[in-house]
Each structure stands twice: as structure tokens, then as C-alpha cells.
Amino acid sequence: MKHRLTQLFRAVMILGAVVLSTQALAQRTVRGTILNATDNSPIVGASIQVKGTNTGAVSGPDGSFSIQVPNDQAVLVISFIGFNSQQVPVDGQNSLTIKLQESASQLNEVVVTGYTSEKKKDITGSVSVVDVKQMKAVPVGNPEQMLQGQAAGVNVITSGAPGGPSNVFIRGITSFGSTDPLVIIDGVQASLHDINPNDIASIQVLKDAGAAAIYGVRGSNGVIIVTTKSGQPGKPKFNYDGYVGTQRPLQGNVFHLLNSQELANALWIADINAGQVAANGNPFSIQYGNGPKPILPDYIDPGGKMEGDPAVDPKLYNIDYNKGPIYQIVRANKQGTDWFHECFKPALIQSHTGTLSGGSDKSTYLFSLGYFDQQGTLIATYLKRYSARVNTSFHITDHIRAGENAYMFYKSNPQISYNSENVINMIYREQPIIPVYDIMGNWAGSAGPELGNAHNPVADQVRTEGNRGYDWVITGNVWAEVDFLKYFTVRTSFGGTIDNFYYWYYTYHTYENSENNASNGFGEGAGYNSSWDWVNTLTFTKDFWQNHHLKILVGSEAINNYGRGVSGNRLNYFVDDPGLWVLSAGSPKGQTNTSYAYQNTLYSLISRLDYNYKDKYLLGGTLRRDASSVFGPEKRVGYFGAGSIAWRISQENFLKSVTWINDLKVRGSYGLLGSQSNVNPTNAYTLFGSDAGSSYYAITTDYSNITQGFYAVQIGNPKTGWESDIETNVGLDATVLNSKLDFSVEYYKKKIKGLLFPDQTNALVGGASLPFVNIGDIQNVGADVTVNYHAKVGSQFLLNVGADVTTYKSKVVNIPGGYFTAGGSRIGDFVRNEVGHPVSAFYGYKVIGYFQDASDVAKSPQQADAAPGRFKYADINGDGKITPDDRTYIGNPNPKFTYGLNINGTYRNFDFIVVFYGSYGNDVLNYVKYWTNFWASFQGNKSKDLLYNSWTPTNKNPKAPILENVATFSTNQVPNSYYIENGSFFKCKSLIIGYTVPESVIHRVKLEKLRVYLQVANLFQLTKYSGLDPELFGSAAAFGIDYGNYPNNQKNFILGVNLSF
């Protein structure tokens, strides 16, 4: 037996040797050269690999290579940073010359820049090209949030709420109203908020007049151009992109609040410090007694009761208004309710997109279906969106093309209120001794004595679960192009958007709070918004005498916007049964109903010229005529234009010998844009209206017989005209070190003249609203920097690093009256927009310390309510007393700069992406402190600082003023710098590690590609801010104020898959 095994082993060895020798004889060497297809220059360091094997090589200094191939049917895979990978069959050849095309990240990338397209290297205006793959690394529901840190010159301030709003500022703040940029998707004005990110092929941001003036009146806030994916010739291909994950609420005591016993202890100290004590020298409280220390009761409603007290007999319990007075019994939560984590829970996030595409040389198609579901960590908040896209194109002949782009979605997305008191505000205001539920499992609240006036935030949110809001939107266009007479192309595109919406809401007759709704009520409404856009262009393109390239575009555009809506409300429903949630089931007493309609139009003539001499000297010019129905006949027409130039220095003879410079270009632009943002379509007209409450009168003493009248609704101004935006831009673009490093540096100045602003007349106009007029100026100056580095370490590790920095400095140049205030609160406005100062600057009294003792008070400038432990304000004007004239600027929410850092790389089958974002030098106003750091600011919960680190005679450098039950000018009654904090932050927005399964494995299951990845979003945030999150959404006139924001720094853990077949 052993002898037979030995013979078998020898036979196997001999057979193996024969096979190996046969393969060795079949292998042979293939040599070749890798060249740049643009200029035939050799590419050094290109990777050459035999497909399906580990055999590889690298091209040498002259682009040459040699590699062993197994047979004549072998395929070589050629790749290099900045170039498109290429697969080359050997086909029995011994020598190959392979030319690689520069990839989309390089200079020959064609980008859409407004009614046309051009190579990136030939752009004379300011355009940021977004890396879409990098952008999509952030798991959120809308691309405007993904843009944060992805384009120099673009500031995005957003919220953590699913589908929440964002501030998008392109090169600073240019208005006190809407600063939203124009968004063009496949040639049609649309919203970036709800497009499926997986449908996006490219995004460009037009930032200066040289680039954006082609859009005239609509382009003053910048332009974001989105091109969606299209099918490619070839066999049908299916792609799936999806992920599932969990979002985790912030952990710990996020508002630094007290528990039940601590809050009672703080009350005792506050009353003693304020001298509010009973005859025995101790404070008195219905809830906590009259002893030297507060005693927590067993029940807080009825107040201060202990177990066994007849007042807490369950037989007395009643929360039904129809059965008599409310009598609720609520047990005390002696450990303290963690209201934040009662409201914020772990939540699911998922996204799924399936795309089918393909075509032939005559037609292409792409169909996609998407589903996005983000459940908010705040209960009863979510975004659910179902979407579909159909993009097709047809080459009817060699000179005629046509196609369409269509996108449809349906969504449901309930929201909380922003920039004011909301349910999150109630989290830190509701006392911890209050439980979520009473003894019968119904809602508990602040109805008991000394429990404040806040609402149960869990109850508030759960009661909104039956409310609904739906949107059905279709947007897209059909287009056709015809080439004729060799140099001409005519194009027509007709598209638009139809948005239908419907909503209803129910408000309950609450019983558990100290301040309850007086009745229940139901409201519902519906409406639609529609717009159409018809664009016709004629383009002439010709090269003259080899060195001259000329492109001229002329065209027209017509836009029409129209919408209607209707709503109604009823009160006093007999029961809260959702089956009766219809208007007719409510009482007609106190009913309201309303409807509205609007329409506006814009007609424009467009022209653009681009000239290029020897690819060295470039000129661009734009002129547009806009006529808008928003303005009166005398001001209806406006002319807007821009000019731009560029000089490609690297093409000059004196630089051609500098081999480390691949491309170097300087450019500049100057132009005039217009704006009609914020202006009502009827602004030019004086309007009169009629309604039951304002213009129906009893002419006689018979009040049952009233007569219709009219009243002034709006004062018009036919002289209001276009807002003028004058923009100057200079820039330097460079690609160096064998295209490993490219960067762009720009400086700009943007001046707004004739700012559209509400009239400030002092005339008596009754209840009529005032018109917008041209009476203000704003100026922004700043710089944008973009740097990209591409490296190859060894033969298989590829690394890309991209960074962008955005800085701007805004200044109010002129507004009527010199200033206006905004950023309202319980103690007044925190923001003053004033000539000579930044937009949204914080204004109030400057705190320079605390009064330490009576002598300190006596020797300091005279100040109302001055006392030890209270704030000492700066005497700004030096007159020896603190008055409103001593208020000054105490903070600036505009950052010194924002920055993004993106790193991605591949090694073998592994890949990774890291996205960082930061903001530096911005102040934020922590209005939460008003509620938590002053005892007298309502009877809500308070902060740990107020109890443990407030002013005392032995703690004279505290984090909070003296703990006292007194509201004063010198503590919590006026805006002051105590609320200002450093809002700078740096966070890791996304970390992804992926693995692509080898082709040899997935071919068995008929797949072309299978990639799986793990992702952590918001891995960390570094900040000195004491609140939830220093990123604070707001309005252009007042942002950076923390009213209790929905945090945007909650960790997400995600598993994702990309596959195709």
C-alpha cells in the first residue's frame, strides 16, 4: 500500500512539472509605452496589471514597460492618478503604445457653466467643481447638507433634523432676506433639497459675475448647477446603492441640568440669597416644606403631598373636561426625569437606490427608483421620500438629438419650529421632578404648584404623530438639438416643476400643564406651486486660422410661476377621535378660512461670447436683458453683464522649460448682476382687501346687518427696481509636480447697491404693509482656496487629499435709520444690523466681571440693580453710569474661515474615505443660559453651574452669577455678553472603510462589482461650546443663536452595499 502511494505521489509531481513547464513556455514578454493622449508625453509611474492576476509592472521615466503575460488572450489594465483607467487586449502583439485620457478631475474635464459647457482649463470665471463621490460620503437626506466643506466659497449651516432647512451662503451674506442660490438641475430651476443624491453625476458652483451673469437677475446669490446621470451605450446594466444604519442621540447630561433634589436645594439657596424666607428663617414651599432643607414630596400634584394623604385618592382623579374640573394626581420623580433621553431615542436611517441604464449608439436610457427613510432621534420626526427618475436621449440622425429628464418624488417630513422656542426648549425647562406619566398612565406636566409653565415635551411630540404633511413633486424637461451649417447648433428646452401639497394637524385640549390649550382644534390645507421655463439658444462655434477659437451663444428664456392654496380651521371638537378630524365636525364659532394665489413672470434675452487664442489668452463676455413682472413699468427691465479674462502663463516660452509646472493660469472678472429676491409679486401696487374682522361694519345700530367694506392691505411702490450686485474677482489656478498637486486661490469683492429693503416711512398707513424699496447696501470681501494632492505609494496604494478654505467679511454699508434689530428673545433682540458692522452681529452690554462687594459697587459707574455677585457692565462712553448708550457689539457669528478636508485612498481591494469639516472664529449666542443659569428666569430646571459654580463671597470667579430668586437689570433682564461663547469647531463628518470583492469571486454569481463598506458619521467633534452643537441654523439677518437646536453631531453607524450586474 505504501509503495502504491509513493508511485502515485511521483506521478502527480511529474504531471505538475509538465503543466508548469507548459505554462512557462506559453508565457511571453510584452513591451510598450504609456503616453498622455493630450500631448503624447510619457506617463511615469503608471500601473500595468494583467487582468485577473497579481502580475504587474510600473512604467519607467520614458513611459516604457515590460510585463509577462500568460497567453495571447491576456488583457492589460492600465491606471494612473488623474487619468481614466483603460483595459487593453494583447491580441498577440509584442509591442503596445497606450494613450491614457485625462480623467474628469483634470484640466480637460467638461463642466456645465450655464446654458453651455466648457473645459475646466478654459474657464475664466470662478467655478468650483464638487467631487460627487466625496460629497455622497455624508449620510443625509438632501445634497445641500452634503455640500458642506466640499466647495470653496460655499458656507452651509444646517440642522440635524431629518429634512431640516439649511443656510447656504455663496461668498458671504448678500441680503437680509433670502440668500438662497439659484439651483439648476438638468437645465431647469429646481430645488436641491429633495433630489436623490445617487442620481447626481456632477455639481458645479458658479460664484462670480463672470460665471453667473448669464443667469442675470436669478444669479446674484450664486448658482449651483446639477447634472444627473444618463445612460451609456452598451448592454443593460443594473446598479444598487444602499445602506442601513442607526443614529445615536448624544449621551450624558447634555444640558448639564440638576436632578430633583439638586433643584430643590437650589431653590432654598435662591430664596435665602433673595431674603425670601418665612418667620423661622427658612424658605417656604408648597412642594418642599419649610424646614432647613427641602424635603421632596411623594406627590407634586396635588402639591407637596405624601403617601396616604386623602388628597391623592385615585377616586378623585379626572382629566376629562366634560366630566368636571380637572383633578390630576402625579407622583414625584425623586431621581429626576431625563427629559432629553425621553425625547431623543436611537433611530433608523436607510437609503436604497436601484438604477437600470444602457443604450446604443442611437439612444440611451436611465431609470432609477429611490427610497430614503430617516427616522429622527427626536421622537415623531422623520423624512420618508420615494423617488423615481427617467432620463433618455435619442440620436435621431448625426445632426439631430432629443431627449428628456424627469424626476418625481413623494415625501412626508414633519418639522419642529426653528429659531424660536420649541419642543427642545421644553427639555431643559421642564422640571426633573415631573414624571412623563401620572398615576393613571396619562401625561404628567407642570399643572401642580411651583412647577413652572413649561410643557411635557414627550406629550407635545407624541400628540403630533397624527399630523400629516405630504408633497408630490414632478420636475424635468424635454429638449432637442440640431446641428446645421457646420458651425451652428440650435437647442430648445421646455421644462418646469409641479408641486402639490396637502397637510392637516390637530391640537389637543391639554390638561397636564399650568398653561393649557383652551380648546382642541383641527386645521387642514392644500395647494400647488407650478412653474415652466422655456429656453431657446443658438450657438456658433468655429476655429479660425488654427490658433483662434470663437464661441458665441444667443438665446431667450421665458419663465412663469403660479400657485394657489386654501386652508381652514375649526375649534371645540366634542371628542378627540381621529375619525372626526374634518372641518365640518368642529364648531363654526371662531372658524377661520383663507386662500391665496400668486403669479409672476420673467422674460430674458441672453448672449455670451468666449474667445481663445492659442489656448493661452482667453476672453469671456456676457450680456443679459431681464424683464420682470415684479417691478413697475418704469423699472421692469434691467441689463446685466460681465467680462472675464485669463492668461495661461504656462504656455509662454519663458515657462515651457519649467517642467514641474504643468499648468498655470491667472484670471479676473468684473460684472453686474441683479436681484429681485424677497420682493412680493405685487410690490408695485397699492392693494385693498376685505375680511370679516377688518372691513365689515354695522352702518346702523343693527349689528346683525353688516355691510362689506375695504381696507388698505399693502402700500405699493412702482419706483422699486433691481438690486445691483457689483462683483470683482481675481484668481490663480495651477497644476504642478507632474499633476500631483493642483490648487486655486481667489480674492473677491461683492458690493450690493440698492438693497431691496422694507420702506421705513413714518407715515400713518393703518394695518397696510409697506413696500420693498431700494435703500440699502452690503459689501462682502473674501478669499477662496482649494488644494488637491494626488499620490501613489508603491504600485498599489493611491492617495488623494483635498482641502478647501472659505473666508468672507461682511459689512453693512447703508440701511435706512442706520440699523435694525433682530434675533428676538424674552429679554429683547440680541442682533443689531448696523452700518459699518457685520451682518447679524450680536449687540448688548459687555460683562467685565462681577461686583465683588459693596465697596466695588460704590466705586464703579452707576448701574441699576448693582449688587455683589451680579454682572458689572462696561462703561463704554465713559460718562460714569450704565445706560443704553453703553451697549456695544459683543460677538460676531460670521466665521473668520470655514474649511473642509477630504482624504480618500485605495490599497488593493480596500478603500477609505474621511471627511472633516470645521469653522473657526465664529461666536455663538447660547440663549439656553437664560433659562438654566438664572433662577428667576421662570421656574424650570437649572444648570449644574448655577448650583455648584455660581458667585459666592468665596467663589469670585464663577461660571454663573449669584444664585438668587430675583430678576434684575444686572443679571437676566437685558442682552449681554454672558451669553456669547466660542463657536469654533472641528468634526469628522464621515469615515468609510470599504472592500471590493475580487472579480474572480463575484463572476460566479454573475456580478460585475460588489463593494461593502462600514461607515461612522460624526465620529467626533472638537469644540469649546458648552451647548449641544455650535452649528446653528438661522436667518440671514440673525443666525448663530442657540434657542435649543436639533443637534447635527449625533453619531451614525452604517453598513452599505454597492453592486452592479
Domains of the chain: 24-100 (2.60.40.1120), 110-232 (2.170.130.10)
- Assess whether the previous peptide bond of 718 is cis (omega < 30° from 0): no
State residue 840's pLDDT score: 95
Q: Which pLDDT value is given to residue 108?
A: 59
pLDDT of residue 45: 65
Which positions ≥6 away from 1023 have C-beta within 8 Å? 982, 983, 984, 985, 986, 1030
Q: What is the 3-state secondary structure (H, E, C) of 686-735?
A: CEEECCHHHHEECCCCCCCCCEECCEEEECCCCCCCCEEEEEEEEEEEEE
Residue 877, pLDDT > 90, answer: yes
Identify the band that residue 956 occupies on the pLDDT scale cut at 50, 70 and 90: very high
Residue 64 burial (CB count, 10 A):
14
Query: Comparing 251-265, 272-286, 673-687, which segment has the lowest mean pLDDT?
Result: 673-687
pLDDT digits (tens, 9 = 90+) for 801-857: 999 999 999 999 998 888 999 999 999 999 999 999 999 999 999 999 999 999 999
pLDDT band at 691 (very low <50, low <70, confident <90, very high): confident
Quote the strand ranges of 614-656, DSSP E. Answer: 617-628, 637-648
The pLDDT of residue 499 = 97
The cell for 531 is 412653474
Question: Which pLDDT score, from 0 to 100, does residue 200 have?
Answer: 94
pLDDT in tens, 630-667: 999 989 999 999 999 999 999 999 998 898 999 999 99
pLDDT digits (tens, 9 = 90+) for 352-371: 999 999 998 899 999 999 99
User: Looking at this protein, which amino acid is placed at residue 58?
Assistant: V
Query: Does residue 911 contact residue 903 with C-beta atoms inside 8 Å?
Result: no
Kindly state the cell numbers that stand for 486.
457646420
How high is the mean pLDDT of the chain?
90
Average pLDDT of the residues in 241-264: 97
Question: Mapping DSSP to helix (H, G, I), strand (E, B) and coil, where does residue 414 land?
Answer: coil
Residue among 452, 264, 263, 436 nearest 338 (CA): 436
Q: How far apart are CA 315 and CA 304, in angstroms?
A: 19
**Sheet arrangement for strand 56-58:** 56-58, 47-50, 75-79, 86-89
pLDDT the model gives residue 4: 47
Residue 38: the pLDDT is 65
- The percent of residues above 70 in pLDDT, for the chain, comes to 94
Q: At a CB cut-off of 8 Å and minimum separation 6, what does 709 contact?
A: 690, 695, 696, 697
Strand 1009-1023 versus strand 1051-1060 pairing type? antiparallel
Q: Amino acid letter at 482?
A: V
**pLDDT tens-digit readout, 372-425:** 999 999 999 999 999 999 999 999 998 999 999 999 999 999 999 887 788 999
Q: Which residue has the cell 430614503?
A: 372
* 1053 vs 741: CA distance, rounded Å: 33
For residue 420, give every residue at least 6 positions away whose Cβ sits within 8 Å of its Cβ, in sequence order, or none: 824, 1043
Q: What span, in angstroms and rounded, lies between the C-alpha atoms of 977 and 225?
A: 41
Checking if the pLDDT of 625 tops 80, the result is yes
Give the pLDDT band of residue 489 (cuts 50, 70, 90).
very high
All three cell numbers of 865, joined, read 440693580
Contact (CB, 8 A) for 746 and 807: no
Contact (Cβ atoms closer than 8 angstroms) between residue 570 and residue 581: no
| All residues at 6 or more sequence positions from 18 whose CB lies less than 8 Å from its CB, including other chains | none
57-71, 96-110, 573-587, 762-776: segment of lowest average pLDDT? 96-110
* Contact indicator for 919, 985 with CB cutoff of 8 Å: yes
Q: Does the pLDDT of residue 16 top 70, yes or no?
A: no
Largest CA distance in the chain: 130
- The size of the chain, in residues, is 1061
Check whether 54 has a pLDDT greater than 60.
Answer: no
Measured between alpha carbons, how far is 296 from 261 in angstroms, rounded to an integer? 7
Of 546 and 288, the structure prediction assigns the larger pLDDT to: 288
Q: Are the CB atoms for 149 and 804 separated by under 8 Å?
A: yes
Residue 656's pLDDT is 84
For the ranges 27-36, 313-322, 767-776, the maximum mean pLDDT occurs at 313-322
Q: Report the SS3 class of residue 653.
A: helix
Q: What percent of the chain has pLDDT over 90?
A: 69
* pLDDT at residue 24, as a whole number: 40
- How do residues 89-118 score in pLDDT, each as one tens digit? 988 888 888 988 765 445 556 677 778 887
CA distance 604 to 625: 5
Give the highest mean pLDDT range of 82-96, 176-190, 597-611. Answer: 597-611
What pLDDT was estimated at residue 10?
47
Alpha carbon distance 151, 1040 (integer Å): 22
Measure the CA–CA gap between 856 and 859, rounded to whole angstroms.
5
Residue 744 predicted with pLDDT over 50 = yes
Q: What is the mean pLDDT of residues 281-310?
A: 97
Quickly state the pLDDT bin for 233 (edges 50, 70, 90).
confident
pLDDT at residue 178, rounded to an integer: 82
- Helix, strand and coil percent figures for the chain, each rounded to 5: 15, 45, 40
Mean pLDDT for 5-32 is 50
Mean pLDDT of 869-894: 97
How high is the pLDDT of residue 11?
44
For residues 523 and 548, is the Cβ–Cβ distance under 8 A? no
